[in-house]
C-alpha cells in the first residue's frame, strides 16, 4: 500500500494543469484502457509499466514506472466508473502530485476527455509542472485513437 506523507487537498493546490480533447470513442471504450494498468503504455509512451496490488479501483496502490526513472509509488484515490478517477503520488520532500481523469458526454455522441495535474508542496511550480505535463496532449490523443480503433 502506498502511503503519502500528506493527503492531497484540492484547495491546497499550488500548481494546476488541465487539457481536454474530444473523441468519437465511447466512454466505455476509453474506460477499458484506464482500468487495465497493463495497457497504459499502449496510450502513454512515457509509461514503461504500471502495477497495482489489486484490480483498478479506489484504494488500489502500486508503482508507476516511467522510462529512465525509478518506479514511483502510486495510489488510486477516487474512482467513479466509467467517468472519473484520480491517482496520487508523493515526492521525498512532501510534494503531492494528483492526476485527474474525466470523461464527459458531448453533443453528437462525442466524449470529452480531460486530464489534469495538481501539485502541492515544496516542489510545486512551473518547472516540475512542465516536466510532468509535456506529454499529456500526445498521450490523450493516443488514448482517443486506440479507443476509436477498437470501435472499428
pLDDT, one tens digit per residue, over 125-134 is 999 999 999 9
Percent of the chain with pLDDT over 90: 82
* Cβ–Cβ under 8 Å, residues 147 and 42: no
Those residues whose C-beta lies under 8 Å from the C-beta of residue 133, and which sit 6 or more positions away, are 17, 19, 117
Mean pLDDT, residues 94-118: 96
d(CA 75, CA 3): 8
The yes-or-no verdict on residue 10 having pLDDT over 90 is no
C-alpha to C-alpha distances, 92 to 8, 72, 124, 139, nearest whole angstrom = 15, 10, 13, 26
Residue 126 lies in a domain: yes
Mean pLDDT, residues 10-39: 91
Look up the pTM and report it: 0.89
Mean pLDDT, residues 105-113: 97
Q: How many domains does the chain divide into?
A: 1
In this structure, what CATH number is given to the domain that contains residue 47?
Answer: 3.30.530.20
Amino acid at each position: 500500500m502506498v502511503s503519502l506523507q500528506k493527503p492531497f487537498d484540492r484547495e491546497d493546490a499550488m500548481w494546476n494543469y488541465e487539457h481536454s480533447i474530444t473523441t468519437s470513442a465511447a466512454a466505455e471504450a476509453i474506460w477499458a484502457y484506464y482500468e487495465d494498468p497493463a495497457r497504459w503504455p499502449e496510450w502513454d509512451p512515457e509509461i514503461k509499466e504500471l502495477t497495482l496490488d489489486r484490480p483498478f479501483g479506489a484504494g488500489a496502490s502500486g508503482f508507476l514506472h516511467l522510462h529512465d526513472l525509478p518506479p514511483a509509488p502510486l495510489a488510486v484515490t477516487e474512482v467513479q466508473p466509467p467517468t472519473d478517477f484520480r491517482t496520487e503520488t508523493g515526492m521525498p520532500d512532501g510534494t503531492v502530485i494528483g492526476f485527474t481523469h474525466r470523461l464527459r458526454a458531448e453533443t453528437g455522441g462525442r466524449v470529452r476527455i480531460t486530464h489534469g495535474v495538481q501539485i502541492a508542496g515544496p516542489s510545486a511550480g512551473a518547472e516540475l509542472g512542465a516536466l510532468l505535463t509535456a506529454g499529456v496532449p500526445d498521450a490523450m490523443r493516443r488514448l482517443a485513437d486506440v479507443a476509436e480503433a477498437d470501435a472499428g
